[in-house]
Amino acid sequence: VIPNIVTLREDIYQSKQGIAPKCISIRHLTSLYQIDIIIRAFVQMLEKYPDATLDILGQGDKREELEAFVRELEKEGVSELGRKVRFVGQVSNEQIYDYLKVNDIMLSAPKIDNMPVSLLEAMNAGVLVISSNVGGVPYMIEHGRTGLLFEGLEDEGVRGLEKQMLWALEHQEESLRMIEAAHIEVQKYSWKEVRKQLIPLYECV
C-alpha cells in the first residue's frame, strides 16, 4: 500500500517541554464528525482542568446547533464555556498551522474516516492526536506510540475520549514521546518519501 501524498511543513514542528489542556478540532461541522462528542468530553475534562480551551475550526450544517448546545450547557452551569469553546469557522490551509502552533491536543471523533489530512498536519506540527478508532485512522496512528485512540459512539465515545484526554495530560513523558514518534512517522506521507515507492511502480508498467 502506497500512502497518499501530504504537503508537510518542515519548519512547523515545535519541541515541547509538556502539554497543556489546549485542544483543537479541525473537521467539518456535520453529524459524521460528531463534534458534540468532543464538546461533551471537553466539558467533563473541565472539572479537573478548568482553564482548558477548545478551538473548533471548520464549517458545516451543524454549526448553529453546536453553538446553541454550548450556550445551553453554559446556562446549565458550565462556567464561561462560551469563552473556552471557540468556533473559529473555516480557515485557509496556511492559517491552520497558526492554530496548531498554539494548541497541544488534536481531538477527532468521526463515525468513519479514511486518511484525515488534519491529523497528519497535527502530527507534523507536534500536536498530540486523540481520535476515534475508525476506518483508516488506526493505520495512521498506533495507539500508545504515535497517538491515542478511543472506542465507541455517543455516551461511550464521550467517556472514551475524556479518558484518553485525561491520561495524556497526566502522563506527560509518554505524551511527549508519542508526539516525537508521530512527527517522525508522518514524514512517510511526504512527496520525498512517497516518490521512492511510486516512481518504481510506474517504471514497471
pLDDT in tens, the chain (205 residues): 778 788 888 788 988 999 999 999 999 999 999 999 999 999 999 999 999 999 999 999 999 999 999 999 999 999 999 999 999 999 998 899 999 999 999 999 999 998 899 999 999 999 999 999 999 999 999 999 999 999 998 999 999 999 999 999 999 999 999 999 999 999 999 888 888 888 888 888 7
Q: Which of 76, 113, 117, 114 is CA-nearest to residue 100?
A: 117
If you search the block for the grid coordinates 506510540, which residue do you land on? 145
DSSP H helices, the chain, are 35-46, 63-75, 81-84, 93-100, 117-125, 137-140, 154-170, 172-185, 191-204
Cα(182)–Cα(41) distance, rounded to whole angstroms? 23
Place of cell 475508525: 134
| End-to-end Cα distance, the chain | 17
Report d(CA 146, CA 130) in Å as an integer: 10
Rounded to the nearest 5°, which phi and psi values hold at 22? -105, 105
What is the residue whose three cell numbers read 509538556?
18
Q: What angle do CA 11, 117, 174 make, to 5 degrees?
A: 70
